[in-house]
Amino acid sequence: MLRVWTDSQPAGLLDRHGPRGTTFVYDPKAGAQRAVSVTMPVRIASWDTAHGLAPIFDMNLPEGALRAHLMRTFAKATGSFDDFDLLAVVGRTQIGRLRYSDADAQLTEDVPFQSIDEILRARRGGELLDYLLNTFAVHSGLSGIQPKVMIRATDDDRSFPAKDRQSQSFRSATHIVKFWEAAEFPELAANEYFCLAAAKSLKLPVSDFQLSDDGLAIVVKRFDAKADGSYLGYEDFCVLNGLPTANKYKGGYETRLFRRAREFIDVEQHGRAFADLFKLFVLNCAIRNGDAHLKNFGIVYDDVTGPARLAPVYDLVSTVPYLPRDAMALTLNGSTNWPDPKALTRLGQTRCDLSLPVIKATFEETADVLSTIAPEANRYFEETATHREVGARLLAAWETGIRDSLGFTGRTITPSPASKTSTKSADR
């Protein structure tokens, strides 16, 4: 049995129920602000889930390499290791305002310190990844297939402002470190770095991020930490749709993303939220991100009973460089084919209440930003990256997106063979 905490206060108890399910019961004295989710208000009756965990409890369960590492570590000792066991391991350090502890234990977090500068300056190799996994895996309640952990930046670290390195009430993680596997997704950290740079240039909310010198890792500051040491509420669109992580690719964007955003984001935020959400969706199409699934969009709030807003941008990459025939994660107009300008225009008008001039300006701004970032990305991949071919495929994917989804048929951002030759000659 686990105790669930919201905003550092006890909210209720979570336990196994039936052959494969779980049940959650709010504490008798829990007020409305102790709700674990905007989809699960405080009530006397229990919240039962027939299979696995409720979406809000399932939301931050590790996936991919992190999950595999934890299973190898704990399954042998316990004899079995399911999602409930996994939540018990990583529950003390989570993205958002929820925490978990043993039923009779107090809530404590004690994430070890780690120098960000050490990660950024480290030489290429697997030793650092192994060390970080061994040290921080149990403190990393966050989802995603990409190898990643959460760390707590050291007080003497100069990579981020001092005001953001202050000790948290429960000494929790401050940053996320992501790596890549050469056999599967080479240069994924640099890929994400330049995609996030595009989002930032488009004035979308993005947490601070840095790429390591060798391109092995990207370090991203948590977007949910507040200045007073508390945390924003955060819920992804799997939770808002009542879906477990396994169904993150299920459905269409019109309903699963845009309709749910209209339902859960505060009406006074709709103007800004839908302009940003449309811009982010357009960017995902332009960079050819086939992994823009329901867990890669979310809402944040200061109070579960108060207004919610669109979460900052995160987990933004181009997937086509690795999967040339990749399509969208969900459907649009019943298809996962990449949309053309007409389909995006219709989406902006019907789902986001945007005028035609605003939509056209979004297309142009996105194309301009990618065109501006492309030379910097090309230089990085030519001069620093181990897998240079990924850079060429990345820029080719962007160029295709700019042409086919944004409608700029004459825009060229990939370097010509002649320009590559002249650059190399100049370097000599």
For 264-295, the pLDDT digits (tens) are 999 999 999 999 999 999 999 999 999 999 99
C-alpha dist (Å) from residue 3 to 23, 36, 47: 12, 12, 14
For the cut 90, the answer to whether the pLDDT of residue 193 exceeds it is: yes
The 10s digit of each residue's pLDDT in 38-83 is: 999 999 999 999 999 999 999 999 988 888 888 888 876 666 789 9
For the cut 60, the answer to whether the pLDDT of residue 322 exceeds it is: yes
pLDDT band at 415 (very low <50, low <70, confident <90, very high): confident
What per-residue confidence (pLDDT) applies to 340?
Answer: 98
pLDDT band at 154 (very low <50, low <70, confident <90, very high): confident
How many residues does the structure list for the chain? 428
What per-residue confidence (pLDDT) applies to 165?
Answer: 44
Percent of the chain at pLDDT above 70? 91
The 10s digit of each residue's pLDDT in 212-256 is: 998 999 999 999 988 888 899 999 999 999 999 999 999 999 999
CA 6 to chain centre: 21
* Cα 16 from Cα 2, distance rounded (Å): 9
The whole-number average pLDDT for the span 90-116 is 90
- Residue 327 has phi, psi (to 5 degrees) of -120, -175
- Are 108 and 14 spatial neighbours (Cβ–Cβ below 8 Å)? no
Strand order in the sheet with 233-236: 233-236, 298-301, 308-310
The whole-number average pLDDT for the span 110-131 is 82
What per-residue confidence (pLDDT) applies to 167?
Answer: 41
For the cut 50, the answer to whether the pLDDT of residue 426 exceeds it is: no
Helix axes 341-352, 270-287, angle to 10 degrees: 160
For the cut 80, the answer to whether the pLDDT of residue 130 exceeds it is: yes
Domains of the chain, with CATH numbers? 233-406 (1.10.1070.20)
pTM assigned to the model:
0.91
C-alpha dist (Å) from residue 356 to 27, 359, 363, 407: 50, 5, 11, 14
What per-residue confidence (pLDDT) applies to 125?
Answer: 60
Average pLDDT of the chain is 90
C-alpha dist (Å) from residue 179 to 51, 77, 109, 165: 32, 28, 24, 22
Neighbour tally for 162: CB within 10 Å: 10
